Each structure stands twice: as C-alpha cells, then as structure tokens.
Amino acid sequence: MSVSLQVNGKSVSVDAADDTPLLWVLRDELKLTGTKYGCGISQCGACTVLADGAPIRAC
C-alpha cells in the first residue's frame, strides 16, 4: 500500500503494508534512524515522534 505523508516538512510517499508501525516506516523505508526502538509496546517513550505538533509513540 502506498502512503503519502510529510516528514520534516517534506512530502514523501512510501510503499508499506498497512499494519507496518510508523517506527519501521521511518527507519527502514525512509532511513531516518533518529527514532529509536525501545520496548515495542509504547511504554518507554524511546520511539516518540511529533505528529501535528503532538508527541505520539511510533512503535
């Protein structure tokens, strides 16, 4: 599935399965490795990113 989104102010389009977590889209598809994998269950906050100015867990 192709998804379009804005990352760091730039429009990007990625082909990823619709159940792929944002964390893996950012790291594997877009090669943006600043977002880290932590616990994998959205508890530790290592994967936090900003979406529309609000922090969300990307894993």
Closest CA to 24 of 43, 13, 37: 37
Which pLDDT score is estimated for 39?
94
- Could you tell me how many residues make up the chain? 59
pLDDT in tens, 20-48: 999 999 999 999 999 999 999 999 999 99
Which pLDDT score is estimated for 10?
94
- Sign of torsion over alpha carbons 10, 34, 52, 3: positive
Q: Which residue has the tokens 């530790």?
A: 44
Which pLDDT score is estimated for 1?
84
Tell whether domain 2-57 is in CATH 2.60.40.10. Answer: no
